[in-house]
Amino acid sequence: MSRKAKPRFPTFDTRDDLLDAPVADTIDLHGFSAADAEHTVRKVVENWHRRGGGVLYFITGKGKGSVAGPVLKRKVAALLKRDLSAYVAEHAPDDAGGGFKVRVR
């Protein structure tokens, strides 16, 4: 009788439905003040919610050029998690750490 050999290494599924999803719109927030970025993110998410949803990519940058650290990154993350949670089905930082992918309901 032959036995089926066990795989030598475990297999990992690195697919991510959100990060792998096609992007409907990309919004680059580089150079925006925190207040302008907040206003823009709110309006874009609300508009896409009215349009029936989609996956958005907000580019915040890593914050390396900011004396106080990553201001926009923290601001956008807080908005998505709290204030816009009614419109956001899910969000995640991108692989490079300089933005967020957001699935709008």
pTM for this entry: 0.82
The C-alpha atoms of residue 48 and residue 19 are separated, in whole angstroms, by: 18
Per-residue pLDDT tens over the stretch 39-95: 999 999 999 999 999 999 999 998 777 777 789 999 999 999 999 999 999 999 998
13: Cα separation from own chain's centroid = 20
Indicate whether 7 pLDDT > 70.
no
φ/ψ of 39, rounded to 5, equals -60, -45
Q: Please, what are the domains in the chain? A: 25-104 (3.30.1370.110)
Q: Angle at CA 54, nearest 5°, toward 93 and 47?
A: 105
- Beta-bridged to residue 54, according to DSSP, are 104
Indicate whether 2 pLDDT > 70.
no
91: Cα separation from own chain's centroid = 5
